[in-house]
Amino acid sequence: MQLQEQVYQVLEADDRGGALSNAVDAFLLSLIALNVVALVLETVEPLYLRAPWLFHGFEVFSVAIFSVEYVVRIWSVTARPRYAGAVRGRLRWAVTPLALGDLLAVLPFYLPFLGVDLRFFRTLRLFRLFRVAKLWRYSAALHTVGRVVRRKREELLMVVLILGLLLLFASSLMYFVERDVQPEHFGSIPTAMWWGISTLTTVGYGDVYPVTALGRVLAGVIQVVGIGMFALPTGLLGAAFVEENEKEPSRRCPHCGREVTE
């Protein structure tokens, strides 16, 4: 148990892990960043064809490291009281979002060895992007974002609902105003919703726009209202971040200054 506790502290970015924990975190963060760069560069065909062995070798190396990390995590996680139990505790940890992200980061590599159709495997190559999600473990800022979103989820859900109703209202109005002169763009409310989405989220995409005087007046009003509506979640999240930062000192030990962990 003592060894499991020490390994857990090192992998979980625990202050008690010391310099070794910081070194492991820095190595894994660098490896994740390099994986993202490699995934992007692989799409440049001339560059990939020049040294495919290099990309494949780096992929094998990365999968080996992430696989070992996953196995060691699932072995050491029972040191945490929340996941106590050789089988049930590890199963509870395995279905957590972070653990699922770790698994999805390496799973596509092993699928061909399990007899999965290679054509299906190619569609899962983008699952390598789940390695970016591993950054969540090592960033205190991302943890803060998660806490803020969870605390304001009801308000954010209400904003999304209001935006949806506004989109429906704007698209319906533009349908009745423009359908006779632009039936190809505003011939139905669902068709008009493309214009509504591009107008509420920006100032219009440019491929669809009203041509009647009344339609242009409505478009101007909708654009202004859309800008105001998108300011709502910004204000909510901004205020929540301020509140979270004000709470931060209370989460640290007044004697040593270290973060208080559960």
Look up residue 30 and give its two tokens: 């660098």
Among candidate residues 138, 169, 198, the one where a domain is terminated: 138
95 and 190 co-located in one domain: no
Beta bridge partners of 259: 252
pTM confidence score: 0.56
Q: Write out pLDDT tens, residues 98-124.
A: 788 788 778 777 776 765 554 444 444
Q: Residue 21: give the domain boundaries.
A: 2-138
Residue 127 has what DSSP assignment? Answer: G
CATH number at residue 44: 1.20.120.350
Contact 11, 76 (CB under 8 A): yes
- Please choose, from the candidates 75, 69, 73, the residue with its C-alpha nearest in 3D space to the C-alpha of residue 28: 69
- pLDDT, tens only, 48-82: 888 889 988 998 898 899 899 889 988 988 888 88
Please report the pLDDT score of residue 61 as a whole number: 93
Q: What is the pLDDT of residue 123?
A: 46
- Domain of residue 193, CATH code: 1.10.287.70
Q: Are 217 and 223 in contact (CB under 8 A)?
A: no
pLDDT at residue 246 is higher than 90 = no
Q: Closest Cα partner for 105 from 28, 42, 51?
A: 28
Block residue for tokens 């473990």: 137
pLDDT for 176-235, tens place per residue? 888 888 888 888 888 888 888 888 777 666 678 888 899 889 888 888 887 777 777 777
Per the structure, the count of domains in the chain is: 2
Residue 126 confidence (pLDDT):
53
Query: Please, which pLDDT band fits residue 254 given cuts at 50, 70 and 90?
Result: very low
| pLDDT score recorded for residue 124 | 47
Sign of CA dihedral 137, 142, 146, 148: positive
Q: Which one of 85, 114, 138 terminates a domain?
A: 138
Paired tokens of 32? 């994740």
CA 191, 169, 226 angle in degrees (round to 5)?
95
Q: What are phi and psi of 210, to 5 degrees?
A: -75, 150
Sign of CA dihedral 146, 152, 153, 159: negative
Q: Compute the C-alpha angle 207/209/210, nearest 5°.
A: 155
Up-side HSE of residue 47: CA atoms within 13 Å toward CB? 9
